[in-house]
Structure 1
Amino acid sequence: MTKILVAGILAGCLLMIPAGISEASYGLYAQRLLKDDHTVKITLTLISIFRLLSKIGSISGSLVFSILAEIIGRKYTITAISIPYIISCITFQLTSTYMMGCVANFLTGFSIGGAYSILPIYIGEVATKSSRGRLISLLHTSFILGRFFVGAILGQFFIKNSLPVINFTTGVLAIFAAILSIAFVTETPYFYLKKVKHELVKISLQKIRRENANYELELTEIQERKTFGIPDNGVGKGMFFKYKWLKPYLLLTCLYVLIWLSLFLTFSIPVRQTYYDANIDPEIKALVVGGVNLVSSLVILLLIDKLGRKLSLMYSFAAITGICLVFFVLKQSKAPLDVLFIGVGPVPSVLLGEIFPLNQKMICSGISNAVYFTLQAVMLALDELNLKYDSFPNIHVYISFIVSTASVLIIKLFYIETKCKSLSEIERELNR
């Protein structure tokens, strides 16, 4: 890989680590702000609102940054994603009021939404087809690393003073990402192609593939996409051909819904209840869960370009089905649940960076992630209801079992394999 390509991937990873840090820090921030701000009382609802504002920020950021990337390009949008991160960590460090904390949390979510929408597309456009899967998967690994940093490392060594460390780390990572994107990251050839700047397409590809003597073949393939889609040669029919974005968008949205129904809705409460009933030390829990998730993300990173995206998803949903059975048989959910992140975690991001046609790539990415974060917001609301009423009917596990079993068949029948295929080949296959 060239230095330019490494810089782009590193900048992306540096922006995803704060996303993981934020995901693991909601409770710490909310408790500190509600404790310091004597004008409000600590309630479960206020903590939930605090978290929900981050998701609303992510929904907004997904849409705003995806539009911005079509106007000013991927390179400068990556730089712009760093700015709300920096403002939010400074605000968190200086404020002691709940309202300002909510504003800072919204800004953090705004950057997270941009990172989820822009970074997979950027890496998908600059990586080679043989390495694209594992390079996009690095984003998910970075997210898990951020969560592990807060839950396991800071939980062990900075229990009383972790928030200043979190603010400093987030700010420094965002600043370094901005410097990398400004100084070393180059714009993708696909952005220049859409802007009909064909000479810049060649220059961009030369910079990214400097050591690759066969880059001319890739350049020829990219330039054949001058009409920003597959030529009208009879492939594709009806609406799916007229609107080339519709089929991949429906496939990705369906995947988000299947994952949400089979995993998030079902297991958020029993995991917590299992730890509570077993009287497991929270620090040990954080270390075990964080460690397993981190190792799992590394496993899929190594396998995704060998197994492929389709098999990884099928194995993941099959594992969820098996875990539902284990839940009923053994009445334990802790041990197998952490394995669920193998496959499901990074694969949607990989597909996001691969399957959308050029002329609608960014806006489709933004809308897809807006749907993803909306589902997360709904999950938070359901989570609060379960906590308030202390109920977890087994019907949720039945739903998970049915959905995950059906998901294996749905993916087998309707999803394509994108492993080791160029973006043009993927678009062509989706429009058959």
Structure 2
Amino acid sequence: MEGTGMITEVPVRQEGRKLWQYLATISACLMALAVGTALAWTSPVLPQLYKESSWLVITKEQGSWVSSLLALGAILGAVPSGPMADKLGRKKTLLLLAAPFLLSWVIIIFAYKLWLIYLARFIIGAAVGAACVVVPTYISEIAETSTRGSLGAMFQLFITVGILLAFIFGTVMSYTTFAIVCALIEVGFLGSFIFMPESPIWLVNQGQKPEATIAMSVLRGDSYDPSEELAEAQREAEQAALRKSTVFDLVRTPAARKALLASLGGMFFQQLSGINAVIFYTVTIFQASGSSMSPDVASIIVAIVQMITTVIAAMIVDRAGRKPLLIFSSSVMLISLVALGLYFNTKMRGSDVSNLGWLPLTSLTLFMISFSVGMGPIPWMLMGELFPAETKAVASGIAVMLNWFLVFLVTKTFPAMNEGLGADVTFWIFAAIMALGTAFTYFYVPETKGKTSQEIQEELQGNVSKRTNA
């Protein structure tokens, strides 16, 4: 046959239909929407609970525990979620995770004592931690190579939409109605996700080849021939079966160590950029700029900016690549943080800052935009892309644990840092971390754009030149 050799050397990748990949991703991301509402619930609710007229009056210290117990629960929830997703399947695990989400909202609706709110926040935290492992894993396994970036970015997008909805609903609804609406998001997730296919990669790993073929035909369309893609997944599954995967596999080979370093580094710099501190400080920055805008409106505007730029990131990530977007993101965040620090330094020295009112607002907006384009969505994406099937779940669990531990650390220590060191030094510390993050990305994060799982593993092993010269 003429041209066969040519095809072997430069394989032409067939493209499947995208509709069901998008539908399954959107359905799975309704859980990310629930994560966003859970994260932002405290923002409108705590100010209500601080008021003398509230049905339950709490102190600022108690309020900080209501906020941070979610992060502690998430650390705990991330641990068993990987093995659970490997044992039960990605789909069944996600459906089961709806239970703790719903339970926590029911407790919040009927809570009459503070300890019940603590309990609810811890339970929803555990569900959030698990969802942050399993949803990106599911998306990366159902997506074609050509759409994996834009579909992967949807996870972060839906979280930001959830945050925006929580800011809006929390402002216009009562405590109980707000909790009921949050619970209804989970009902919507259950109603849609039950009809979605299981991850074909997981099915192949379980030796369920016929079921994997059916799932693949749903996700790629009837005219797509899944044999090549499934054969590749089968090869990976057979290699994985030769060695029983343990946590030590994450450090056993140079490729595994590179993947773990890049993934954990992404999570480390994402949270130590001070993103939660900046969100925490949004209202103060708006006030410092001399804006007459109410804190509620300010937080809604910031959430809208974040949501729009996350949409842009989803659209460009498969064209621009992960690495350039990360470097751009951390560099602009570095500049924004330096500018914020300079503003507060000038203000603290007693200088007139009335003509610099635009600076904190501009810096904050630039910071949020650049975070949402790279440092926000891409570490979650890399978590789903860098690891082979046999170590993906355990590696994702470790990455998510680190992420939530850092969320807890930053939200708990930021007020003390701000008080002890001053706002200027605090923002400059975050800026220095972003400078390290830019260098780290340049040297240690591999580009995964447009590459199959096998190609990514070969690049991590340093076999790229062998493949291109073949």
TM-score w.r.t. the length of structure 2 is 0.82
Amino acid at match of 1:378: L
Q: Matched residues in 2 for 1:296 and 1:214: separation? A: 36
- Post-superposition offset of 1:115: 1.4
Q: Contact 1:148/1:287 (CA < 8 Å) preserved in 2?
A: yes
1:76 paired to 2:92: yes
| 2:82 maps to 1:66 | yes
Q: How far, CA to CA, are the matches of 1:162 and 1:171 in structure 2?
A: 14
8 Å CA contact 1:78–1:178 kept in 2: the answer is no
Say if 1:239 and 1:205 are closer, same or farther in 2 by CA, change over 3 A: closer
Structure 2 gap segments, 5+ residues each = 1-16, 244-248, 345-358, 463-470
Q: Distance in 1 between matches of 2:151 and 2:84?
A: 23
- Look up the SS of the partner of 1:104 in the other structure: helix
The answer on 1:181 being equivalent to 2:181 is no
Question: Paired residue for 1:414?
Answer: 444
Secondary structure in 1 aligned to 2:339?
helix
Structure number, greater radius of gyration: 2
C-alpha distance in structure 1 between counterparts of 2:107 and 2:250, whole Å? 48
**Of residues 382, 386, 396 in structure 1, which corresponds to 2:426?**
396
Amino acid at match of 2:137: I
Q: Which residue of 2 aligns with 1:300?
A: 313
Instruction: Supply the distance in 1 between the matched residues of 2:442 and 2:426 (Cα, whole angstroms).
Output: 24
In 1, distance between residues paired with 2:25 and 2:104? 23
C-alpha offsets along residues 41-81 of structure 1, whole Å, 9 cap, x if unaligned? 62221111111211111112212222211111001011011
SS in 2 for 1:225: helix
Shift of 1:38: 9.7
**Residue identity opposite 1:177 in structure 2:** F
Q: Distance in 1 between matches of 2:60 and 2:174?
A: 22
Hey, what does 2:361 align to over in structure 1? 334
Map 1:364-383; keep pairs closer than 5 Å.
Answer: 364-383=395-414
* More moved, 241-250 vs 119-128: 241-250
Q: How far apart, in 2, do the equivalents of 1:314 and 1:270 lie?
A: 25
CA distance in structure 2 between the partners assigned to 1:317 and 1:243 by the alignment: 26
Query: Is 1:164 aligned with 2:176?
Result: yes
* 2:236 aligned with 1:225: yes
Q: Using the alignment, how far apart are the partners of 2:36 and 2:149 within structure 1? A: 20
SS at match of 1:416: coil
> Residue 192 of structure 1 corresponds to which residue in structure 2?
203
Task: Supply the distance in 2 between the matched residues of 1:124 and 1:36 (Cα, whole angstroms).
Answer: 48
* Deviation for aligned residue 1:33: 5.8
Given that 1:21 and 1:147 are in contact with CA atoms closer than 8 Å, whether structure 2 keeps it comes out as yes
Preserved contact between residue 102 and residue 186 of structure 2 (Cα < 8 Å): yes
Deviations 1:87-124 (A, max 9, x none): 11111111121111111111211221121110111010
Query: Measured at CA, do residues 419 and 191 of structure 1 come closer, stay the same or move farther in structure 2, by a change above 3 Å?
Result: same
Alignment RMSD, CA only?
2.8
User: 2:18 & 2:325 partners in 1: Cα distance?
Assistant: 29
Task: State the TM-score, normalized to the length of structure 1.
Answer: 0.88
- In 2, are the aligned partners of 1:113 and 1:369 still within 8 Å (CA)? yes
Deviation at 1:422, TM superposition (A): 1.0
User: Is 1:260–2:260 an aligned residue pair?
Assistant: no
Which deviations, in whole Å up to 9, do the C-alpha atoms of 1:191-250 show, x marking residues without a partner?
122223334333332332224424332122222213345999xxxxx9955375433122
Structure 1: stretches of 5+ with no match in the other structure: 233-237
Equivalent residues of 1:36, 1:96 under 8 A apart: no
Distance 1:268 1:30 in 2: 15
Report Cα offsets for 1:263-303 as digits up to 9, x if no partner: 33764565443223335311331232122111111111111
Structure 1 position 403, deviation (Å):
2.6
Contact persistence 1:152–1:290 (CA under 8 A):
no
Separation (CA, whole Å) in 2 of partners of 1:215 and 1:197? 14
After superposition, residues 126-137 of structure 1 pair within 5 angstroms as: 126-137=142-153
Alignment of 1:342-381 (within 5 A): 342-381=373-412
3-state SS of the aligned residue for 1:226?
helix
Aligned to 1:52: 68
Contact residue 33 and residue 162 of structure 2 kept, 8 A: yes
Q: Which amino acid aligns with 1:408?
A: T
Percent identical among aligned pairs is: 20
The reply to whether residue 88 of structure 1 matches residue 104 of structure 2 is: yes
Alignment-derived partner of residue 302 in structure 2:
289
Matches of 2:310 and 2:88 in 1, distance apart?
32
Q: Give the Å deviation of 1:401.
A: 2.9
The 8 Å contact of residues 36 and 97 in structure 1, kept in 2 or not, is answered as: no
| 1:107 match | 123
**Structure having greater relative contact order (Cα 8 Å, sep ≥ 6):** 1
CA positional deviation for 1:2: 6.2
Q: Flag the 1:428–1:44 CA change in 2: closer, same or farther, 3 A.
A: same
